[in-house]
Amino acid sequence: MTIHQILKHYWHHDNFRPVQEEVIQSVLLGYDTLALLPTGGGKSVCFQVPALAKDGICIVISPLIALMKDQVENLKAKGIQAIAIVSGMGKREVDIALDNCIYGPVKFLYLSPERLLSDLVRERIKYMKVNLFAIDEAHCISQWGYDFRPPYLKIAELRELHPKVPVLALTATATSDVKLDIQEKLHFKKGSAVFQKSFERKNLAYVVRTHEDKLRRMTEIVRGVKGSGIVYVRSRKQTFELAQYLNQHGFRADYYHAGLPVDQRSAKQDAWKTGKVPVIVATNAFGMGIDKPDVRFVIHYDLPESLEAYYQEAGRAGRDEQKAYAVLLYGPNDKARQIAKFESAFPSVDEIKTTYHYLANHFQIAYGAGEGLSLNIDIGEFCARFKLDAAKTLNAMKFLERGEYLSFSESVFLPSRFRFEVSNEELYNFRIQNAGWDAFIKVLLRSYGGAFDNYTRIKEFDVSKRTHMNVQQVVDGLKQLQGFNVLTYLPQTDQPQVTWTRARQIPDNLYIDRAYLEERKAMYKRKMEAVFAYADHNRCRSQMLLNYFDEHNAPKCGVCDVCLAEKRKDNALSISDDIAAEILELLNTAHLKLDDLIAGTHTGTDKEKIDTLRTLLDAGRIKTDGVKYYV
């Protein structure tokens, strides 16, 4: 099929969006390609279409586990074979998935960057017929990017396994430094191409509202803008408090953060997506990969960490190209609070080393041990145990990750999976010999027939309904069958994970790059100051954002709060000029009292006429004797 036939067959679209086709053609010609497309610009089509047009498998690297899973499910729904391998999966499960990529019909293999640290994964990729490496969120590879992730630096090593395979790097946000860094770190070859769609969003009105009472401002916006919206806050506690406040004031709102159980998160997402709950109050854990085009407003209740993050989050509004609003609420103490938070969040070298050893002690890892070990971690519990600041601890772990001492995955949800470890014939014999298990196993076979070949997602609740058991009895049954070596059952996990990429080091061998630490701190400070400038300056908001992303000749948007204020001012000046001309014309012919002057002037309101009169007096263009006015 041609690329247009593929688009029509799988996506039911007749035409590509702007820039998509150019990116696809570049990849098909074998060029390394960097594509910069705004949030909601259809990045996934840029690698999925060319991958389907060629023989072989496309390897997709993405840090967004939820997004990977969504894309895998969407591809499967289209009849396209896809697999995601993320942190937290067992070695045997990974082994089977990789075998399917080598010998089976799999067209897309999604990998989290941490998986690139695995010798097993890299060794098996060597034997795959790879047609494209697609790097999503490519800004994560750049030390100048707002979301630098050290495991991304390992991606270039994939090129050594398949040197002739092109690389497609995709991002929604990148400054000129980041664009150059992406190409350098991914070893782009000569003749590589860069495609950039303007980051301008003509239907999105950017607004900054400065006010002490942010609750009141938020309420006014939610009341005034009909439809679905997101309110972003910086803390989990705030999500609950603000959602409760909105509900108490007559709105339907819910809250969302990464600390909620996965079933609650899914239910809240679905209620918002379907419109049952119009407003969701959330941390930045919400929104990645959620396809909802009719979001009418995004409110940032607190200052964002960077303009890159703000652009991505605000860009979730108005993807249907209809009028939408991105509003930043800015209080008098916000700047000072942000500076204090920034200063307290950056750990010293000693604090990074202390965090490392506390982690090892927490998991009881001896010196020289632990390499390759992946362990669930409750960050709140860990910080409480050792009396650590959570933000500083997370940053310390990122620096340890860069030093390749460990890798940290902030969000790992893996649904329950199982796989039969016996043949169909052996399973039949087991059922004959153990009649009490027959009905339970029959339900598993009818519901999950493919579980002989692959680890298959299992929903314990669904099984409980079909077997007339409760969920705990289903879980116990699966565990008992595992004890009989009939199957392997992997219960769901929903916690961050720490993977020890090296054995535990003695203190003297733990090297932290001080210069790099200071460099990162200075960079984050610049990004924070760019946010302050955006909030403080009276310049077209869209122009400021576009200028930040190196679009220096962008026109004024005409719809942000600054542009609208300028229009009102221009209109007021125009009215004032017309009033002044009428007043001067009247006074050129006669000395007039105030009442006669106002009655004889036909432009503007009485207040506008009096204001203009005062302006003319102050400028000395007219005079008064206290009773009448004259030239």
Please check the confidence at residue 365 and state whether its pLDDT lies above 90. yes
The residue count for the chain? 631
- What's the confidence (pLDDT) of residue 176? 86
| 338-413+495-512 is a CATH 1.10.10.10 domain | yes
Please give the average per-residue pLDDT across 530-555, as a whole number: 93
- What's the confidence (pLDDT) of residue 207? 95
pLDDT confidence band for 289 (50 / 70 / 90): low
Query: Nearest-CA neighbor of 128 among 113, 153, 108, 151?
Result: 108
Please check the confidence at residue 412 and state whether its pLDDT lies above 60. no
Q: What would the pLDDT profile of 45-57 be if each residue is shown by its tens digit?
A: 999 999 999 999 9
| Within this chain, domains 3-196 and 561-630 share the same CATH topology | no
Q: Could you tell me if residue 466 is left (phi over 0), alpha (psi between -120 and 50 degrees) or otherwise beta?
A: alpha
In the chain, where the domains are located = 3-196, 204-332+525-548, 338-413+495-512, 416-491, 561-630
Q: What percent of the chain has pLDDT over 90?
A: 52
- What's the confidence (pLDDT) of residue 361? 95
- What's the confidence (pLDDT) of residue 531? 96
Q: What would the pLDDT profile of 435-464 be if each residue is shown by its tens digit?
A: 999 999 999 998 887 788 778 889 898 899
Are 42 and 135 within 8 A, CB to CB?
A: no
Q: Which CATH number fits domain 204-332+525-548: 3.40.50.300, 3.30.450.20, 3.40.50.1240, 3.40.50.2300?
A: 3.40.50.300
- Residue 520 CA to residue 526 CA, distance in Å, equals 10
Q: What would the pLDDT profile of 159-204 be if each residue is shown by its tens digit?
A: 999 999 999 999 988 888 889 999 999 999 988 999 988 889 999 9
Structure tokens at 408: 């940290």
Helix then strand then coil, % of the chain, to nearest 5: 50, 15, 35
Q: What would the pLDDT profile of 28-42 be if each residue is shown by its tens digit?
A: 999 999 999 877 768
pLDDT confidence band for 411 (50 / 70 / 90): low
Which position has the higher pLDDT, 616 or 228? 228
List residues bridging with 375 in a β-sheet.
498
Residue 116: how many CA atoms within 13 Å on its side-chain side? 24
Q: What would the pLDDT profile of 127-161 be if each residue is shown by its tens digit?
A: 999 999 999 989 888 877 667 777 788 888 889 99
pTM of the predicted protein model? 0.73
Please check the confidence at residue 359 and state whether its pLDDT lies above 90. yes
Structure tokens at 293: 């085009």
pLDDT confidence band for 317 (50 / 70 / 90): very high
Please check the confidence at residue 413 and state whether its pLDDT lies above 80. no
DSSP of 477-538: HHHHHHHTTSEEEE--EES-EEE-SSPPPPGGG----HHHHHHHHHHHHHHHHHHHHHHH--
Q: Which CATH number describes the domain made up of 416-491?
A: 1.10.10
Please give the average per-residue pLDDT across 324-332, as a whole number: 94
- What's the confidence (pLDDT) of residue 595? 87
Are 81 and 205 within 8 A, CB to CB?
A: no
Would you call 7 exposed, middle or buried from its count of C-beta atoms within 10 A (0-12, 13-18, 19+)?
Answer: buried
Q: Which CATH number describes the domain made up of 3-196?
A: 3.40.50.300
Q: What percent of the chain has pLDDT over 70?
A: 97
Instruction: Give the three-class secondary structure for 619.
Output: coil
- Residue 240 CA to residue 282 CA, distance in Å, equals 9
Catalogue the E-assigned strands of 331-477.
Answer: 374-376, 407-409, 413-414, 417-420, 456-457
Q: What would the pLDDT profile of 71-98 be if each residue is shown by its tens digit?
A: 898 899 999 999 998 766 777 888 889 9
Element (H, E) at 255: strand 253-256
- What's the confidence (pLDDT) of residue 310? 95
500-506-508 Cα angle (round to 5): 125
Please give the average per-residue pLDDT across 279-293, as a whole number: 84
- What's the confidence (pLDDT) of residue 7? 94
Structure tokens at 244: 């409760």
Element (H, E) at 329: strand 324-330
Q: What would the pLDDT profile of 474-529 be if each residue is shown by its tens digit?
A: 999 999 999 999 999 988 776 778 888 889 999 888 999 898 889 888 988 999 99
Please check the confidence at residue 349 and state whether its pLDDT lies above 90. yes
Please give the average per-residue pLDDT across 338-342, as a whole number: 89
- What's the confidence (pLDDT) of residue 73? 87
- Residue 56 CA to residue 51 CA, distance in Å, equals 8
| 561-630 is a CATH 1.10.10 domain | yes
132-158 residues labelled b (16+ CB within 10 A) or e (exposed): bbbbbbbbbbbbbbbbbbbbbbbbbeb
